[in-house]
Structure 1
Amino acid sequence: MSELWRLLLLVTLSASAVTFVGSAAIWFMDEERRIRRALRHVLKGAPETVIVAKGRGRGAGFNFTTNQAAVAWDSGAWCLIYRIDELMGAELSVDGQVIGRVFRGEQRRAIDQIVQQAAQVTLKLIFDDPRHPDFELDVWLEGDQQRRESRSPADAIQEANRWLLRADAIVRRPLAPKARPAPPPSPSAEPAIQTRPPVAEPEVARAPKPYTPALETVSAAPQARPAATAPLFDEIDTTADPLDAPWEADDDLDDDPPSIPEKPYKPVSKAARPPKDDQDELPFDLDD
């Protein structure tokens, strides 16, 4: 019996966990929440105003702090970002007939009729973008009354009208002055055109020169012209007698080598003489 209660408790806890996980997944994957998360991501902040076409996966949001607008479709998988001043106008149509219009430079066309029943209510935002000039939101379709959180066509028209007033407040604001383009640089300040460096040609192997003997090379070389040199003497006397010397006789005395003076005689003392044992001969003659 205790095992049966344990099994029932385990099944109950498992069912509660599965229900909680499923509810969290449904809440997280809700279409409106996904669109809001995508807009908050691309606008770098929570958008101050958002409109969502439920069941169509489309929405739009404005962030006046960052001065940006964004539109999303495919439940937030794709988004486009615009500047607020790129909004040119908006249109509200019911069953294909335009009942309200706001455009830059034109007077606002207010809604002059109240519609209680409609098959389609569409809000169109017009931007100054040649690639994506407009974005349509079907805020009400004929099959929306079968949804749990469905609204009436009058509620959808009222919400779309608020967006018309918001668009009118945006387009009536003066645009920021555009920055003037910089003046073109003077011709003297133009950068010099860089020339392409010459392409280096590959070196071609040259054939070796034929061998020439050294004697033929020397004989074939042009003779160098003798360089002019200054004369060693200003003038050469050709009338002088070759036997006569060009110098005088008195000059011979100057050329004699100097005389060597004789050393004076110095007597040798006996104390300086070497001992007798070392003398080979006597310093005097015995016969004397």
Structure 2
Amino acid sequence: MDETARLLLWLALAGTAVTFAGSAAIWFMDEDRRIRRAFRNVLKVPADALLSANGRGVGFSFSRSLAVVAWDQGAWCLVYRIEELVGAELLVDGEVRARAYRGEGRRPLERTTPGTGQVALRMIFDDARYPDFELTLWAPGDEAKRNAPSPAEAIQEANRWIARVEAILRRASPPRPAAAASPLVAPAPAPVFAAEPAAQPEAEAPPWDEPPAPRARPAAPGAEPRTRDLFDEDDPDPVP
């Protein structure tokens, strides 16, 4: 009896341990948690906004200005700068129902009726190799999945992300350059006119006529020339 009780106790403990381990494994391998861990490893910080579905996910870190997308439940991730985000589109059966693009007004959602196909959110980036990323939020057959949203709920969730992308684009847009201040033009200096010299009074003519300059008498041949003053008394022959 004691051996049987001990065996049953061990079986109960083993079953509890297996159940706990299985539950922990399911919790740890949950798709959303795996993508969150992958984003944390890539971004080095927890994602501020995250959306995942069908093994794919998209997330943002506003503190680091980064956007990240994931495939295969986080096995492969691709990181973009938020400035590389161009816009987002809400697709229902391949038709664009709503969108938000950088530099243009948001196109709001007008019809919320689900279609017969899939509901997807497409993120568009400024990248030549991987220009877009499509996240399928609902597809035919998802109604059999546990906790799967309905097509209408998937459309509403995608519409909320369109609004979020619009806010991100508006905040990430570079500020408009300030209007260049017009250079201050110094006023042209007033022309400087040189003062005209004062008119000099004209010299008045003497009231009398000056006597003509004296003429020298030609010297006699062989005689030395001499100078004299006008009306020299010693001159016996004054100049007429």
Are residues 1:47 and 2:32 paired?
Answer: no
* Aligned partner of 1:99 among 97, 100, 103: 97
Aligned counterpart, 1:113: 111
| Structure 2 Cα separation of the partners of residues 129 and 119 of structure 1 | 28
TM superposition shift of 1:118: 4.0
CA deviation profile, 1:12-57 (whole Å, cap 9, x unmatched): 111111111111111111111101110111111111111011xx21
Runs of 4+ that moved beyond 6 A: none
Specify the SS of the correspondent of 2:74.
Answer: coil
TM superposition shift of 1:116: 4.1
Change (3 A) 1:9 1:150: same
The structure that has the greater radius of gyration is 1
Asked whether the equivalents of residues 50 and 60 of structure 2 are also in contact (C-alpha less than 8 Å), the reply is: yes
Aligned counterpart, 2:17: 17
* Aligned partner of 2:158 among 157, 160, 177: 160
| Structure 1 Cα separation of the partners of residues 96 and 115 of structure 2 | 15
* Aligned partner of 1:59 among 57, 60, 77: 57
Counterpart of 2:16, as a letter, is S
Asked whether the equivalents of residues 118 and 153 of structure 1 are also in contact (C-alpha less than 8 Å), the reply is: no
Specify the SS of the correspondent of 1:169.
Answer: helix
List runs of 5+ in structure 1 lacking aligned partners. 178-288
Specify the SS of the correspondent of 2:86.
Answer: strand
| Structure 2 Cα separation of the partners of residues 158 and 40 of structure 1 | 27
TM superposition shift of 1:161: 0.7
CA deviation profile, 1:162-201 (whole Å, cap 9, x unmatched): 1111111222332269xxxxxxxxxxxxxxxxxxxxxxxx
| Structure 2 Cα separation of the partners of residues 68 and 176 of structure 1 | 19
Larger RCO of the pair (alpha carbons < 8 Å, separation 6+): 2
| Structure 2 Cα separation of the partners of residues 170 and 48 of structure 1 | 12
Aligned counterpart, 2:236: none
TM superposition shift of 1:119: 2.4
Specify the SS of the correspondent of 1:172.
Answer: helix
CA deviation profile, 1:63-116 (whole Å, cap 9, x unmatched): 101111100111101001111111000011101111111111222111111214
Aligned counterpart, 1:275: none
Aligned counterpart, 1:143: 141
Percent identical:
57
Specify the SS of the correspondent of 2:104.
Answer: coil
Aligned counterpart, 2:211: none
List runs of 5+ in structure 2 lacking aligned partners. 177-240
Aligned counterpart, 1:28: 28
CA deviation profile, 1:188-234 (whole Å, cap 9, x unmatched): xxxxxxxxxxxxxxxxxxxxxxxxxxxxxxxxxxxxxxxxxxxxxxx
| Structure 1 Cα separation of the partners of residues 22 and 99 of structure 2 | 44
Asked whether the equivalents of residues 59 and 68 of structure 2 are also in contact (C-alpha less than 8 Å), the reply is: yes
| Structure 2 Cα separation of the partners of residues 22 and 133 of structure 1 | 40
Aligned counterpart, 2:222: none
Aligned counterpart, 1:82: 80
Specify the SS of the correspondent of 1:60.
Answer: strand
Aligned counterpart, 1:134: 132
Counterpart of 1:15, as a letter, is G
CA deviation profile, 1:233-268 (whole Å, cap 9, x unmatched): xxxxxxxxxxxxxxxxxxxxxxxxxxxxxxxxxxxx
Counterpart of 1:31, as a letter, is E
| Structure 2 Cα separation of the partners of residues 51 and 108 of structure 1 | 21
Asked whether the equivalents of residues 92 and 118 of structure 2 are also in contact (C-alpha less than 8 Å), the reply is: yes
Specify the SS of the correspondent of 1:115.
Answer: coil
Asked whether the equivalents of residues 31 and 55 of structure 2 are also in contact (C-alpha less than 8 Å), the reply is: yes
Specify the SS of the correspondent of 1:114.
Answer: coil
Aligned residue pair count: 176
The TM-score with structure 1 as length reference comes to 0.59
| Structure 2 Cα separation of the partners of residues 157 and 74 of structure 1 | 23
Asked whether the equivalents of residues 90 and 120 of structure 2 are also in contact (C-alpha less than 8 Å), the reply is: yes
